């Protein structure tokens, strides 16, 4: 039997393969209220920005999971969040966020906000986050979890269409696989910006980093093999 599709899971392969990369993500829970998380340690997925690691220390994954799954927040694996969706594995979130090369002044578009956990991580690293999900119940739940995050904007919508009235964005991260890079997202990416997106079929997508050059052309860098749910409209 095939495993269900995950919102974001690294595709585990032989260590001789370039596209991945068995990882380990260690999480330490605060003895006080369980809101402090330790950062990535000993992972084969490189995370270069120490600010990304610090953001993981500040955001409790359990706050974004259904009550029945809060005890599993420390697991480095996708977890179901209802409506046929899952929360991505933390090590993959860290890798994808790191690839965006965010600064404190960055404006970020997140397509497929899901539980809101990655949204919270992004909010610690940039000026504003504009997050879209096609699932209204997930957006409503994420709005509650993100109530104290003043630089986050959430809405229900077609992620492939982006958020044109708030463009351009310095970074765009897509948490669903697509066989076609949405033209709207490329148009809404700022010059010098980065788009991180799973490209290809859900079961064999390639995570790409697409950079917008100053002449308006694009440079695409393949990163690793992943499995994601399909991008819905």
Q: For 118-172, how does the pLDDT look when each residue is reduced to its tens digit (9 = 90+)?
A: 999 999 999 999 999 999 999 999 999 999 999 999 999 999 999 999 999 999 9
The answer to whether position 35 is within a domain reads yes
Is there a catalytic annotation at residue 14? no
User: Distances in Å between the alpha carbon of 134 and those of 1, 160, 161, 162, 203?
Assistant: 28, 10, 11, 11, 21
Q: What percent of the chain has pLDDT over 70?
A: 81
Catalytic residue among 14, 71, 88, 115: 88
Range from 34-38, 52-56, 123-127 carrying the lowest mean pLDDT = 34-38
In contact, 224 and 209? CB cutoff 8 Å = no
The answer to whether position 2 is within a domain reads no
Predicted confidence at residue 201, as pLDDT, reads 80
CA gap 104, 127 in Å, rounded: 6
The answer to whether position 4 is within a domain reads no
Query: What stretches of 83-204 adopt beta strand conformation (E)?
Result: 85-87, 107-111, 128-133, 152-156, 169-174, 189-199
Predicted confidence at residue 194, as pLDDT, reads 99
Predicted confidence at residue 14, as pLDDT, reads 32
Q: Which residues contact 190 (CB under 8 A, 6 or more apart)?
A: 107, 167, 168, 169, 170, 212
Range from 61-70, 185-194, 209-218 carrying the lowest mean pLDDT = 61-70
Mean pLDDT of the chain: 84
Predicted confidence at residue 29, as pLDDT, reads 39
The answer on pLDDT for 111 being more than 90 is yes
Burial class (CB in 10 A: 0-12, 13-18, 19+), 144: exposed
Range from 18-22, 42-46, 63-67, 185-189 carrying the lowest mean pLDDT = 18-22
CA gap 107, 140 in Å, rounded: 22
Question: How far apart, in Å, do the first and last CA atoms of the chain sit?
Answer: 28
Predicted confidence at residue 15, as pLDDT, reads 33
CA gap 161, 232 in Å, rounded: 11
Domain with 101 in it: 9-227
CATH code assigned at 69: 3.40.50.150
The answer to whether position 3 is within a domain reads no
User: Mind listing the pLDDT tens digit for each residue in 187-213?
Assistant: 999 999 999 999 998 778 899 999 999
CA 154 to chain CA mean position, Å? 15
- With H, G, I as helix, E, B as strand and everything else as coil, classify residue 170: strand
Predicted confidence at residue 10, as pLDDT, reads 58
User: Distances in Å between the alpha carbon of 140 and those of 8, 106, 169?
Assistant: 21, 25, 24
The answer on pLDDT for 54 being more than 60 is yes
In contact, 47 and 40? CB cutoff 8 Å = yes
44 versus 37: the higher-pLDDT residue is 44
The answer to whether position 223 is within a domain reads yes
Predicted confidence at residue 11, as pLDDT, reads 54
Say how many domains are in the chain.
1
Predicted confidence at residue 165, as pLDDT, reads 98
């Amino acid at each position: 039997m095939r495993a269900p599709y995950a919102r974001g899971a690294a595709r585990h392969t032989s260590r001789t393969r370039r596209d991945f990369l068995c990882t380990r993500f260690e999480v330490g829970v605060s003895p006080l209220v369980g809101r402090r998380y330790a950062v990535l340690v000993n992972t084969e997925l490189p995370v270069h920005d120490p600010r990304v690691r610090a953001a993981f220390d500040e955001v409790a994954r359990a706050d974004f999971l259904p009550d029945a799954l809060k005890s599993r927040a420390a697991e480095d694996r996708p977890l179901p969040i209802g409506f046929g969706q899952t929360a991505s594995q933390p090590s993959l979130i860290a890798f994808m966020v790191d690839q965006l090369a965010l600064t404190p002044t960055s404006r970020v578009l997140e397509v497929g906000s899901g539980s809101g956990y990655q949204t919270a991580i992004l909010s610690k690293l940039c000026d504003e986050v504009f997050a879209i999900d096609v699932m209204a119940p997930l957006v409503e739940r994420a709005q509650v979890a993100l109530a104290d995050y003043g630089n986050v904007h959430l809405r229900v919508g077609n992620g492939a269409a982006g958020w044109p009235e708030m463009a351009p964005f310095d970074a765009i991260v897509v948490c669903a696989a697509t066989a076609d890079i949405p033209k709207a997202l490329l148009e809404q990416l700022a010059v010098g910006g980065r788009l991180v997106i799973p490209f290809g079929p859900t079961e064999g997508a390639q995570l790409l980093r697409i950079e917008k050059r100053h002449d308006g052309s694009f440079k695409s860098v393949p990163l690793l093999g992943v499995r994601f749910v399909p991008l819905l409209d």
